[in-house]
Structures are given as structure tokens and as C-alpha cells.
Amino acid sequence: GAVVSQHPSWVICKSGTSVKIECRSLDFQATTMFWYRQFPKQSLMLMATSNEGSKATYEQGVEKDKFLINHASLTLSTLTVTSAHPEDSSFYICSATKPPHSYNEQFFGPGTRLTVL
Amino acid sequence: KNQVEQSPQSLIILEGKNCTLQCNYTVSPFSNLRWYKQDTGRGPVSLTIMTFSENTKSNGRYTATLDADTKQSSLHITASQLSDSASYICVVSARNTDKLIFGTGTRLQVFP
């Protein structure tokens, strides 16, 4: 199998606080994990790519100081939204690749709904 | 520019009917194309993956086709069920990169 989990599944926080979202590969070691953001009725937008033990690569327009990504092990990556604001409210989805990389397939987590009040 | 376009944007059908969703892409060099089903508030789940040499692949009631010459793909759903209500996303991968190019999706609603 290739199961990816996320925690929490939803979170509500006050503006100005920080929120941490975890992404775990449950039954495989993920060499690469991806973080996406999805706004209502839109498709997934890649935020960053992270490899275990190295700094994440952020997409253009994504603030690395605001969206902190840590990929400390082959089964866990975390996304921390620092000083969250209402415009950060979105659906955050992670994915992971499972070696060997047949077709570059990514296995997606169930997503985390973030609401910033 | 690498792009993936899907049509229609939304679709309503009655339970038991068939439907076909379309995907056009301009991704080069092409590696593979996949269709995902995304239920509301959930992550995408893979339905099919096709490489350049494959022109059809089935997964239960889902059948995907690929025409690499015209850069078009379709997803055909047979005998639709209420549980088929979801967004269907066409995703294309280019060679030599681990990034995926996502279509905007087709929102399918199946009514009894």
C-alpha cells in the first residue's frame, strides 16, 4: 500500500497564531514530499517540495518564512503556517512519492482544512 | 507553457447514466497522464495512469483514453452512481521533473 495521513484534518485558529500540520507516510518511506494549497473550486497549487534532511524548495510567490516546512524523517513532513491571517484559510494537502518512482506517482493525504478567524 | 485544460467545468447527470470528461494538455516532454477523483474535503485518489504508449486503461467503471498525437484524454464513467459525485482532475507529468501539472477539474454531480 501507499497511505499518507495528515493531522489535523481541520483546524480553526485566531489571526496571528501559528499552526502546524503534519504529513506522514504510514507504510513506506517517502524520499520526497510535496505541499499543496487548494482554494474553493480551484485545483491544487504546489507550494513547496521537500526532501528528507534538506531545505524545502518553494514555488514562486510562496513565502518561505511564512510557510515553514520541516522534513526531518523519511515518514514525516510538517508545514507550519506562521502568523496566520484570514487569507491563509485554505485546504492544505500533502503528497509523497514512494520509491521506486514508477511514473513519478504521488500519493496524496486527505487534506487539512485551515480556517483563520 | 505547460497547461492542462478540462471540460466541462461541471456536469450533472442522473444515476445510471454514462458520461465522458475531457482533458487537453500542452505538456512537453510528456511522461504520463493520470486521472484523480477528489471528493469534497478530501485528497485526490488516483483512478488511472497512462504513459505515452498506452491509449486506454480501465479501473472498474472508469475507462480512460489517451491520444498522445492530439494530446487529448478522456475519462468515461459507466453506469454512474451517487458516490461518483466528486471532482475529477486530469494531471500530466513531464519527463525529467517531479512536478505535476494539474487541470482545473470537472465537478460531477450524480442525482437519483
> What pLDDT digit, counting tens, does each position of B13-68 carry?
999 999 999 999 999 899 999 999 999 989 999 999 999 889 999 999 999 999 99
In this structure, is the dihedral angle defined by the CA atoms of residues B3, B9, A95 and A10, taken in order, positive or negative? Answer: positive
CA atoms within 13 A on the CB side of B87: 22
CB contact under 8 A, A91 and B41: yes
Please tell me the distance in Å from B74's CA to the nearest CA on chain A: 18
Per-residue pLDDT band for B88 (boundaries 50, 70, 90) equals very high
A97, β-bridge pairs = A32, A106
CB contact under 8 A, A43 and B89: yes
**CB < 8 Å from B in window 31-90 of A:** 32, 41-46, 49
Cβ atoms A56, A62 nearer than 8 A: no
CB contact under 8 A, B93 and A104: yes
> What pLDDT digit, counting tens, does each position of A32-74 carry?
999 999 998 888 999 999 988 888 999 999 999 999 999 888 8
